[in-house]
């Protein structure tokens, strides 16, 4: 089971693509020979405020005292006090006014947004289908029907050859403005399908169970489910995590007996501490469920027989104070644990007595080799790692006695790439399915033959409108931060890119929760590259590109390293003539939106435009609100300003919302979702209201609040593409590109 990170934001990179068009002739990029290397904000044309007056949010006195410090928040009222119900007319009227202002901006530029959307759509394989995989006597695949937004899932009986559609997401989505499939599971006897879905964006999933022989649904229906569902080994029960009433926090892992009502469900595991997130999953051997509770760097793990017999057995107590990634095979648990080294060691222990004092170390931790994930199979197991920031996949044989591990690394065609385990459901399969891509290589499915040690290309992402990877270049460079740290940066651009600072740049960052932005392909991004942009990812501290310590060096009292790294990367790229100050657009989502807020406050003169997606910018107030279910578990990431005066002062010193001052800022695009349980709607709303009141420039600030969605924008592949097309159009217009 993979490490249970709960991310306030992990919809990293807005990955996307567009047709091969030359940079617009209307681009206002200055001539490199005529302009100085540092440019003021007024050196470029900007998106200006609309003729119509922008919405002005009322200010209402609100003060709180913490640790003898008075905290004033005149926009506190934008949080509906009846939340999670949002029905305050004054709040809704303000959000409506902001949306009207946004669409007034968009109206004359709709042709550009539509053109970008058509580029996106032209690169979308309308009838895409997956590579089939086999599991328990059936071959499974998914596919899109032409023009449909959602997948259709089918399976073929390997004995009879009969194929059956078992899950039609398009049909399920009918009548809903928003639809997302959560998880699904088929019973061991292949007779029942359980699936979860969300129709509001609030991530409170419903579950239905379908008889696959008759096509009829059982009377069983579950509500307030976290998302994942899994049948027990005997197929008589369904395992799920139950969300608390009116709270986006699970404290119970439940077992639902098929044919009974939800209120009769038994509890398999209960988490008494609101500060811990819980999750569950099956081991690859399908012999055990794993239950995990996680808070920051601490994880507690239990194993429960997959038939739900007996009681859960504790594998690691939370008092041990470290994280684990666990799988199982042949009577042993295989564990990656960062107890003796932050980059983790590899351990095994008998499932008969899996206590920590019986652990056997198979591979010690290493400063260079960051162990990321493990999956077990019948005759081998796999280790995913990152060596000096570069991804690696190794095949290992099970050890006999005290013998050293026999291993081999899989060789891939590029140096800088992203690779991960694909769909590998069968314990006894003789191949390993992998998902591979790079900044210039479309998503590729490989099957690695374990015996012959060869890679078979099973699928390459199609780009119907055309794509030639030879038209683009990618590279990895290092930039020195102000404290001497070397920060990796991955770049991609169209061939012929001029390193004279004359072309626009799009810089992306995230930097939290040890989440790493891997060098991945994006069809959407081509729309920027083909208009002359370079695209760069700053792998700042707070992520884990350079190992787990890289993450630790960007959290709590070291949080500002993340912000400084991002600004220092921009300045480094300017010094190396990849871009010029004032000609860089930046974007980030969720915790990456917090990074955008901090970057725009620290160095507004560097940015041409800023995209703050569902931004976690009101850090102090959120961490002070223990009633929010996601707050207590986050104290280990950001600090607890309720109990600690030092934490209060630290967060107050960098919280973007609290540090907006009266000065000039670049154009900004802010987005949010009314039903977002992760970054609540009032964070982007309060940022926009306060920024609009204090900024002294006339640069455009718009906010788009999706009134029927949550953290992940619109649902359906085309709905999301339309959102992204509008965001791209904003960035292009900021650079004077209107085609």
Q: Phi and psi for 591 in degrees, rounded to 5?
A: -65, -25
Strand order of the sheet with strand 390-396?
369-376, 381-387, 390-396, 407-409
Residue-by-residue DSSP string for 489-515: EEEEEETT--TTS-S-EEEE----TT-
Beta bridge partners of 134: 139
**711 given a catalytic annotation:** yes
Report the alpha-carbon distance of residue 725 to residue 739 in Å, rounded.
12
- Specify whether 260 is catalytic: no
Looking at residue 48, the DSSP 8-state letter turns out to be B
- With CA atoms as reference, report the closest residue to 739 among 582, 464, 527, 495: 527
Among residues 520, 711, 723, 735, which one is catalytic?
A: 711
Among candidate residues 690, 506, 696, the one with its CA nearest the CA of residue 77: 690
Pseudo-torsion of CA 376, 382, 387, 389, nearest 10°? Answer: -80
Instruction: Pick the catalytic residue from 518, 676, 715, 735.
Output: 676
Residue 550 neighbours by CB under 8 Å, 6+ apart: 541, 542, 543, 544
| Phi, then psi, of 67 in degrees rounded to 5 | 55, 35
Structure tokens at 419: 């690779």
The CA-based dihedral angle spanning residues 226, 277, 273, 674, taken in that order and rounded to the nearest 10 degrees: -60
Distance CA(667)–CA(253), nearest Å, equals 46
Active-site entry in 232, 590, 609, 655: 590
For the four alpha carbons of 517, 677, 613 and 642, in that order, the dihedral sign comes to negative
Instruction: Report the C-alpha gap between 488 and 415 in whole angstroms.
Output: 14
In order, the DSSP letters of 53-71 are PPP-------EEEETTEEE
Cis peptide before 507 (omega within 30 of 0): no
Given CA atoms 552, 557, 563, 565 in this order, what sign does their dihedral have? Answer: negative
Q: Per the structure block, which two tokens stand in for 192? A: 């029942």
Q: Determine the Cα–Cα distance for residues 198 and 712; give it in Å rounded to an integer.
A: 12
- Bridging pattern class, strands 668-673 and 607-613: parallel
Kindly provide the b/e burial profile for residues 434-443, where b requires at least 16 CB atoms within 10 angstroms of the residue's own CB.
Answer: bbbbbbbbbb
CA 456, 461, 466, 467 torsion: positive or negative?
negative
Nearest CA to 699 out of 733, 666, 735, 726 is that of: 666
259 and 599 Cβ atoms separated by less than 8 Å? no
Q: Evaluate whether 703 touches 684 at the Cβ level (below 8 Å).
A: yes
CB atoms under 10 Å from CB of 126, counted, come to 15
Active site residue 676: yes
User: Around 342, how many Cα atoms within 13 Å sit in the side-chain half-sphere?
Assistant: 13
Angle of helix 560-575 versus helix 645-654 axis, rounded to 10: 30
Task: Classify each residue of 338-372 as buried b or exposed e, where b means 16 or more C-beta atoms within 10 Å of its C-beta.
Answer: bbebbbbbbbbbebeebeeeebeebbebeeebbbb
For the record, the structure tokens of 678 come out as 């992760």
Helices (H), 13-168: 89-106, 110-122
Task: Name the strand (E) or helix (H) holding 727.
Answer: helix 717-734
- Which residues are annotated as catalytic? 590, 676, 711
């Amino acid at each position: 089971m993979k490490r249970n990170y709960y991310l306030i934001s992990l919809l990293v990179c807005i990955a996307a693509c567009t047709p091969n068009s030359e940079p617009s002739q209307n681009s206002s990029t200055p001539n490199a020979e005529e302009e100085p290397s540092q440019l003021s904000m007024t050196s470029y044309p900007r998106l200006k405020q609309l003729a119509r007056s922008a919405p002005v949010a009322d200010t209402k006195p609100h003060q709180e005292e913490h640790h003898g410090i008075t905290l004033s928040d005149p926009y506190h009222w934008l949080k509906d006090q009846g939340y999670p119900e949002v029905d305050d007319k004054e709040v809704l009227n303000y959000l409506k006014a902001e949306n009207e202002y946004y669409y007034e901006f968009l109206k004359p530029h709709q042709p550009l947004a539509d053109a970008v959307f058509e580029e996106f759509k032209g690169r979308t394989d309308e009838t895409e289908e997956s590579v089939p995989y086999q599991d328990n006597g059936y071959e499974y695949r998914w596919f899109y029907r032409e023009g449909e937004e959602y997948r259709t899932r089918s399976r073929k009986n390997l004995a009879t050859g009969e194929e059956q559609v078992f899950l039609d997401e398009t049909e399920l989505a009918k009548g809903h403005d928003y639809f997302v499939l959560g998880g699904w599971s088929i019973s061991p006897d292949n007779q029942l399908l359980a699936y979860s879905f969300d129709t509001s964006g609030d991530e409170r999933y419903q579950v239905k169970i379908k008889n696959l022989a008759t096509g009829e649904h059982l009377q069983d229906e579950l509500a307030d489910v976290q998302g994942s569902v899994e049948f027990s080994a005997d197929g008589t029960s369904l395992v799920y995590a139950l969300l608390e009433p009116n709270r986006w926090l699970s404290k119970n892992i439940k077992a639902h007996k098929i044919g009974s009502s939800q209120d009769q469900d038994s509890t398999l595991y209960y988490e008494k501490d609101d500060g811990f997130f819980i999750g569950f999953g099956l081991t690859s051997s399908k012999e055990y469920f794993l239950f995990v509770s996680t808070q920051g760097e601490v994880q507690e793990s239990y194993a429960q027989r997959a038939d739900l017999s007996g009681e859960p057995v504790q594998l690691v107590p939370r008092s041990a104070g470290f994280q684990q990634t666990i799988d199982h095979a042949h009577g042993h648990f295989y564990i990656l644990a960062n107890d003796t080294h932050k980059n983790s060691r590899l351990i095994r222990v008998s499932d008969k007595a899996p206590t920590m004092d019986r652990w056997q170390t198979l591979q010690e931790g290493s400063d260079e080799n960051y162990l990321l994930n493990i999956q077990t199979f019948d005759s081998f197991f796999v280790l995913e790692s990152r060596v000096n920031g570069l991804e690696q996949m190794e095949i290992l044989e099970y050890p006999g006695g005290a013998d050293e591990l026999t291993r081999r690394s899989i060789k891939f065609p590029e140096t800088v790439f992203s690779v991960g385990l694909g769909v590998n459901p069968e314990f006894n399969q003789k191949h390993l399915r992998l998902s591979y891509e790079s900044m210039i290589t479309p998503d590729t499915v490989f099957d690695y033959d374990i015996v012959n040690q060869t890679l078979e290309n099973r699928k390459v992402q199609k780009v119907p409108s055309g794509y030639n990877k030879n038209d683009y270049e990618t590279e990895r460079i290092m930039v020195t931060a102000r404290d001497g740290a070397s920060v990796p940066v991955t770049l991609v651009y169209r061939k012929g890119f001029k390193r004279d600072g004359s072309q626009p740049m799009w810089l992306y960052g995230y930097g939290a929760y040890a989440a790493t932005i891997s060098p991945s392909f994006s069809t959407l991004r081509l729309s920027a590259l083909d208009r002359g942009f370079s695209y760069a990812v700053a792998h700042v501290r707070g992520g884990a590109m350079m190992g787990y310590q890289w993450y630790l060096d960007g959290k709590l009292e070291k949080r500002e390293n993340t912000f400084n790294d991002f600004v220092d990367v921009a300045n480094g790229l300017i010094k190396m003539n990849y871009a010029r100050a004032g000609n860089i657009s930046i974007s980030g989502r969720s915790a990456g939106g917090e990074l955008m807020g901090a970057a725009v406050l620290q160095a507004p003169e560097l940015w041409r435009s800023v995209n703050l997606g569902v931004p976690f910018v009101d850090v102090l107030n959120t961490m002070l609100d223990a009633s929010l279910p996601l707050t207590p578990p986050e104290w280990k990431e950001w600090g607890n300003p309720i109990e600690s005066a030092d934490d209060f002062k630290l967060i107050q010193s960098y919280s973007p919302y609290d540090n907006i001052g009266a000065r000039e800022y670049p154009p900004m695009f802010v987005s949010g979702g009314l039903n977002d349980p992760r970054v609540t709607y009032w964070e982007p709303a309060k940022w926009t209201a306060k920024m609009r009141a204090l900024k002294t420039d006339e640069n455009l600030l718009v906010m788009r609040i999706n009134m029927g969605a949550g953290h992940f924008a619109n649902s359906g592949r085309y709905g999301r593409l339309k959102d992204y097309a509008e965001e791209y159009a904003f960035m292009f217009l900021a650079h004077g590109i209107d085609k």
